[in-house]
């Protein structure tokens, strides 16, 4: 069974819709990344969305993560309604990847608790429920199918999209709203700083001079369905997917890249294609020493002498954590529908200790692009890879 993808609804610091994001990527525009000070007094580069660009949400709890989520969803609202009309509200699932459990309300509520000995009257523990990012979508569009939230760190939304496809193929539903949403909250920034994973400069993935990640806010959502529903975009299918869990370490990937390699191989097998049929790989490419090294080894092992074109887009979007898989799939969607590829934005200094990859150059990015692979590799070795194809 083919699984069709609608055009994505996207909201990020690099663009408030898919078209703006694509323009930023092609131009190498890093203006969405700025330096911020957290509540701890530490300062970090981050791709945070300006709150002035957001409207109050229609949800029961109005917080930044829901405002961003709704801004992305509104871009595909007509397709969601079309799916409802075609299949019925009980036959549409919701699958969301996210790692933030209402930190905005949690921090404010606990601050008041420690000051006054009581939570604010409008505080509810439900605000911190992992389910709310998916429950909100079900409530907003009156969807009655399964509503699930997935939290596997940086592969969360890639996993959510896989589970949405499996729900459709199983016959449990006919369509699904699937994607991810996450924010680079103060808690997240300080947490990653404690792991010594954040770069003191804008991230510089795969360079010998790389020094860590740059975090960011972001959301991206699709409607997945067993028939094409989007009349405004070329037909694009989720051709295949693969997952693995190497469980090497809580926060560090297996340095050999064996888990990443296995996920890519499963994705290609699921898609029934050979490595040389892939036109582009969107790398996970976080800019940390260990991630980039193991991913370069894995890509080299899978694609071998066929030097597939690739790049990481996190130097423009920031690492959007649980939303990264969906956001980067949206970038792959733009690549196949625009016949162009996003360039690698870095200092160009290769690390001789890892295999050289065939990066897309900024002045050489027009290609006949039909099939793309997107990598998402997370804490705990929770790996997920997605393959999409522009249909004839």
Q: Is pLDDT above 80 for 332?
A: yes
Which residue out of 154, 173, 332, 372 is catalytically annotated? 154
CATH superfamily of 4-390: Thiolase/Chalcone synthase (3.40.47.10)
Task: Determine contact, residues 392/228, Cβ cutoff 8 Å.
Answer: no
Q: Is pLDDT above 70 for 365?
A: no
Which residue out of 95, 173, 319, 385 is catalytically annotated? 319
Q: Is 319 a catalytic residue?
A: yes
Query: Rounded to whole angstroms, how far apart are CA atoms 347 and 51?
Result: 31
Retrieve residue 314's tokens: 């996190």
Q: Please, which pLDDT band fits residue 111 given cuts at 50, 70 and 90?
A: confident
Query: Rounded to whole angstroms, how far apart are CA atoms 232 and 241?
Result: 25
Q: Is 154 a catalytic residue?
A: yes
Query: Rounded to whole angstroms, how far apart are CA atoms 93 and 174?
Result: 8
Task: Determine contact, residues 241/384, Cβ cutoff 8 Å.
Answer: yes
- Weakest-pLDDT range from 54-63, 126-135, 221-230, 360-369: 360-369
Q: Give mean pLDDT, residues 52-75.
A: 95
Mean pLDDT of the chain, nearest integer? 94
Q: Please, which pLDDT band fits residue 302 given cuts at 50, 70 and 90?
A: very high
Task: Determine contact, residues 221/210, Cβ cutoff 8 Å.
Answer: no
Length of the chain: 392
Which residue out of 95, 99, 148, 284 is catalytically annotated? 284
Q: Give mean pLDDT, residues 211-235.
A: 96
Each residue's pLDDT tens digit, 12-57:
999 999 999 999 999 999 999 999 998 889 999 999 999 999 999 9
């Amino acid at each position: 069974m083919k699984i069709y993808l609608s055009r994505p609804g996207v909201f990020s610091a690099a663009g408030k819709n898919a078209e703006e994001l694509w323009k930023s990527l092609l131009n190498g525009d890093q203006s969405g990344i700025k330096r911020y000070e957290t509540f701890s007094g530490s300062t970090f580069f981050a791709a945070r969305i300006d709150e002035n660009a957001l409207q109050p949400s229609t949800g029961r709890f109005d917080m930044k993560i829901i405002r961003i989520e709704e801004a992305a969803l509104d871009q595909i609202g007509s397709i969601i309604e079309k799916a409802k009309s075609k299949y019925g509200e009980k036959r549409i699932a919701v699958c969301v990847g996210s790692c933030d459990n209402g930190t905005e309300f949690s921090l404010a509520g606990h601050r008041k608790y420690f000051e006054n000995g009581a939570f604010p009257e409008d505080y509810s523990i439900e605000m911190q429920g992992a389910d709310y990012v998916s429950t909100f979508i079900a409530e907003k569009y009156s969807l009655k199918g399964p509503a699930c939230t997935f939290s596997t760190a940086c592969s969360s939304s890639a996993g959510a999209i896989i589970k949405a496809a499996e729900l459709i193929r199983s016959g449990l539903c006919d369509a699904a709203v699937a994607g991810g949403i996450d924010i680079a909250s103060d808690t997240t920034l300080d947490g990653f700083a404690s792991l010594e994973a954040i770069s003191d400069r804008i991230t510089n993935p795969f360079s010998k001079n790389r020094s860590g990640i740059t975090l960011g806010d972001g959301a991206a959502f699709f409607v997945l369905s067993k028939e094409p529903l989007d009349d405004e975009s070329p037909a694009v299918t989720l051709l295949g997917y693969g997952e693995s869990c190497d469980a090497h370490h809580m926060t560090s990937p297996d340095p050999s890249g064996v888990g990443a390699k296995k996920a890519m191989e499963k994705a290609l097998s699921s898609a029934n294609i050979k490595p040389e049929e892939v036109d582009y790989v969107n790398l996970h490419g976080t800019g940390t020493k260990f991630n980039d090294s193991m991913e370069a080894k894995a890509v080299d092992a899978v694609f071998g002498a066929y030097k597939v074109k690739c790049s990481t887009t996190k130097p423009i979007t920031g690492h959007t954590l649980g939303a990264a898989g969906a956001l980067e799939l949206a970038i792959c969607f733009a690549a196949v529908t625009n016949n162009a590829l996003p360039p690698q934005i870095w200092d160009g200094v290769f690390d001789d200790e890892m295999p050289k990859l065939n990066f897309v150059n900024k002045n050489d990015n027009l290609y006949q692009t039909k099939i793309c692979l997107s990598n998402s590799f997370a804490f705990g070795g929770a790996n997920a890879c997605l393959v999409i194809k522009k249909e004839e």
